[in-house]
Structure 1
């Protein structure tokens, strides 16, 4: 592994890991991210957690090839259960999953007391960003940074959150678009939501106003469509 080489998506995730943190990368696949962080001197200790045996073995193999066994602990475990109290983890990265799945992973970790609130969360959902923001808000986490990038024709959002002393109440628009991204209003954000608008209008056209079961969904779609149009104008 070239110590300089990482996908743009993972490179951006890595850029939010604090210097000298102990990082746990959940769903680590080949352990590329923790290996890169160590090879580039960002962190000295890391945990690579993987629930699937194949990627777990690949992660182990890479760690051994690079001679990083004393710095990266690879564990076969479900979600945050890869983290042990003696690891003293101060940053958690979860990248490349849906927002619902990331929320479930955080939820289980929260319920089991693994998530202590001392960790910075660096999350990169492929879809379902709103659901993830709702989870963070409900569990008293505050977004400290957001970034939207494009790589190989796909757009990815990165959410960085830390435990707050009190709940941050985001507006419905901030939950949908992201408070930092909404403030910035980049062309990339407008392009993303212009594409989403087409999908939402298509779904709306297929729902019957006469069907009472559709009414809540119709109202929700109409509201989000109006917000999107306001954003991209």
Structure 2
């Protein structure tokens, strides 16, 4: 992967960034996404925020190599602290980290947002926790998709500010948009998760010490997934 050829996951994130956006890519990981979008003429301005030195310096080099210093600001900062008021950011992307980590970043950095930004997220797990945070903080999920890359299932979640957002526990687990679309990638993911949960519960039956809370959670999820797939 480089700034010219993105991974499948980042390509799908890129496809969800509105034309002429002013993008803050938080945890930018070498700046691949903002540089690629700028080279394609797809965005107006970008911030590449990184908390780690190595990807920060790598992103700086990529921006310089492509002559984009005036259009992409590369900043060493913790989470949303990379955003400055004068940036006029209207889209924030977070990719390739756990949903729980994304929740922490949003929670710590709320005051850096105006409350009008579109959020585009590609979590590596923790989707349920991320959707719960979005619901509790006034964001409506307007688009979701599942893709499989290198034998892993990944989800992309796009959310916008909205009032009175309420999702059911099942929608928080599966995704409200994904439940409606019922794509083959989505159903395939949950078939695999169902097998894993059933195998874990079978192991619990033979274990001397069983974590009861986890067993109850998995049992409930097996029931929900079975019902979901029965409607396939």
TM-score range, shorter chain: over 0.9
> 1:119 is matched with which residue?
117
Name 1:97's counterpart in structure 2. Answer: 97
Structure 1, gaps ≥5 residues long: none
Contact 2:50 2:79 in 1 (8 A): yes
Aligned mate of 2:142, from 124, 144, 168: 144
Offset of 1:5 from its aligned partner?
A: 2.1
TM-align CA RMSD: 2.1
Tell me: CA distance 1:129–1:35, structure 2 relative to 1, closer, same or farther (3 Å): same
Cα drift, residue 2 of structure 1: 7.4
Alignment: residue pair count = 230
Which residue is equivalent to 2:180? Answer: 183
Tell me what 2:39 maps to.
39
Which of the residues 214, 217, 227 maps onto 2:214? 217
Question: Greater shift after overlay, 38-47 or 120-129?
Answer: 38-47
Residue in structure 2 matched with residue 196 of structure 1 by the alignment: 193
SS of match in other structure, 2:74? strand
TM-score for both structures, normalised by structure 1 = 0.92
CA shift, 1:152, in A, is 2.4
1:1-233 equivalence runs, <5 A: 4-110=4-110, 113-164=111-162, 166-207=163-204, 214-233=211-230
- Structure 2 unpaired stretches of 5+: none
Residue 212 of structure 1: how far off its partner (Å): 11
Task: Tell me the TM-score normalized by structure 2.
Answer: 0.92
SS in 1 for 2:120: strand
Aligned to 1:31, the other structure's residue is in SS state helix
CA distance in 2, matches of 1:78, 1:52: 9
